[in-house]
Amino acid sequence: MTYNKERHKQLVIRSQDLKNQGKNLFLENPEEDSELSKYNIAVEEQVFWTHREDFFLLMKNFIDNIINFDEFETAFSLLYRKTSEEVDMFIIDLKQIEKFQPSTRSYRFASVIGSIYRQFEEVEDEYCTEQEVKDYVKEAYLKFQNFEE
């Protein structure tokens, strides 16, 4: 997807206008909703990428046994939720969108971080072990070390 700032702003305004009328962009125009979703994903990737050092530090401390699984889960979950809230505010803020420029380096970072976050529930439900989460975190950590800015 080629990023078009003006189109992104138009879609945000249209979506907000419809919401104020009690309508939904998806129901009114699924194609525009899909396009806006792609822009929102680009924003999400970039916002998560700006917090990468915090995520990397937690991941490294967990991998190196500086913190245990419970400490990692708590700290990682707090950072994940804080960053998600930032994304939620960003995607409707036209001033932020005006300054926004996506980076190709951020590609898929948020989705991998989201996968780690979802694995905590998998451990609770006993679908995977704490060691399997640690192995996944290590794999993700090593992969993204190649993409640091």
- The tens-digit pLDDT sequence of the chain (149 residues) is 788 999 999 999 999 999 999 999 999 999 999 999 999 999 999 999 999 999 999 999 999 999 999 999 999 999 999 999 999 999 999 999 999 988 777 778 899 999 999 999 988 888 899 999 999 999 999 988 865 54
- Give the helix ranges, DSSP H, for the chain: 5-20, 25-28, 30-50, 52-63, 69-90, 94-99, 109-124, 130-145
Our count of domains for the chain comes to 1
Q: Does residue 134 sit within a domain?
A: yes
Are 109 and 144 spatial neighbours (Cβ–Cβ below 8 Å)? yes
Structure pTM?
0.87
State which residues form the domain around 117: 42-145
Residue 117 is assigned to a structural domain of this protein: yes
Tell me how far the alpha carbon of residue 27 is from its chain's centroid. Answer: 25
Residue 56 lies in a domain: yes
User: Is 51 inside a domain boundary?
Assistant: yes
Question: Does 24 reside within a domain?
Answer: no
